[in-house]
Structure 1
């Protein structure tokens, strides 16, 4: 009898799927938090290295060739981190998005409404500000997309380090927002940076995606099928003229997230356990090491606040992201379109919106893609410096706000504990 009562009162027994999803969310957040810390270290190493007397060795490393002539892959080491390793990051993002859409926060329309609406505001507003500020400058036809993305690992790392006393709903909101935000950024990459399209190679990629989906449907589990399909789909997209990292997110979205009755965990969960630590702890930090090496001198700092492209990135990220995420969230809650996350006030949501201005990984990628052919390369370096500076400013400002809000929440909990029953 006691066991039956416990089964009825214990949420883990009554709602095993919900409990599993929350456990996966906690594990995901822990991994991304550690990955975010490693990412920061890698970026700091790159900045110190390229601004040291040994800067020539850094340049030599990034420009070293690791080409495969037979496959027409004339890549440098920096290219491999950008086009290769980030495909792993996007695969994990695709898995997480699929899980959120099917069994997570985004599966419930009422709970999904706010982070989706906030993500839209956090993409549209920075893009509009960047277009207005940088109108007419070289590269702005695609450079307006630089400030639209929020970095998942970096933002979650800052939240974990400084927002531990904020309600757990803050982490769920920020993660859901960042995942949807990155999906929209991925779509922009596909649209903006596909100039010529090789139809036969595109069909080859589609065939790989169809084979992956069919294998999932047939419950095939051998990696000897999935690894070749992943590699061929990546190569096919590259040859088709589409940025190959998009193969990662497509394959992630095609992976099954609901376990069968005879399975301990779904394929997506197994793959996340296996690949996410590699993505967060190795792939993204290596990309940061190769992408964050921006020479910082008086000339660069001067241009950051006078060059219209740099100002478009800075204002788009810092003001556009914050105003877009918080402003549209406030309107959605005010007019009853969405509900405010449990336990969070508007000041908490404003602090989280500031974290949304951390644009690191995808913003650096878009900067390299959008401005690679502009001038002598100085535009890319300046845009990347703007992303780094703004992301650091957003992380510091967001941390200060979260620490303050954490003290408020802790004081409320202490007062509640002292009240007589």
Structure 2
């Protein structure tokens, strides 16, 4: 790495896995690989294998979890790695953290790497929280004296003071993540690698963790690699992103452009309706849903325009019937938050419709994940009824344009109101 500002460099990283049960029929493949290697020939299985698309059935025994990934990270940069489930994000982080090796390619780094890849990474369940802090510090190459100078800060940040001398096996997943993050952040690695684990923590800890990562990168000049499905966190934290699709880099650029690229692909996933609870005659039935914010490529945001476009199959065009469309939005706990109906607005519409559009000028839902249930009636009879048909995400927004957010733990819904002291 000629450039002194480059702290991590990935060159043509690929990772191949064999599908099926481990140890079944692989000895012949291992011998074949060995025979090619001692003759100085290429691994015969590097020429086979299919791309990492978990939703399709393949013909090969091998799959490329990652294929030809190359990028550089500068000192003090926060690189976001985003993509759908199964895109290869966690595999890439495991290779960068040296948990596993690449099949081909090379990783070059300067300095220590601290990884937080899953709940309890590097923790021993029988040891206390305090002992695990020293264990993790030793793994990172810290001396006992260095760890002791930081341990009170670590314990205070984690919020686990009462349980710090209790075996970690008795911790909840949230407590374990709190302590693990505190260790990784405070023991001053040059590169901090964070997978989706912060989602396990509560809202208060997530806010603290993101603030700490900002301090680490901006104030202390250390490097962070961050994987998350929370686009608001990615936008607030990351200086640049790469988007993975099927094990390859589909896009690399600014955080804003990367999120836009990702959401254009993610929007299609909203069309994957869960039809398992579907009931009704099917005269008029739902095919897909488009959920978006100010534009078709932007996620819904608190306080911004919000659109739901329900695309339907109308089997009897020009039918001489009354059609009523209802939908309900629930939170992840199943609490009913919003109910809307075409009947409330007395909308008749033409009988040849193929979509039903609901527009809201200012979305009054706070950030979070939500579920939609739909009900279509034709002449008063159920034509299509799908419970929890799909989920969508609302990102954080400034509803009142005051620079202040409504805490999600206080309210899921936001009212437009005025306050006057008289």
Q: TM-score, normalised by structure 2?
A: 0.23
Structure having the higher strand fraction is 2
Rg larger in structure: 2
Q: TM-score, normalised by structure 1?
A: 0.23
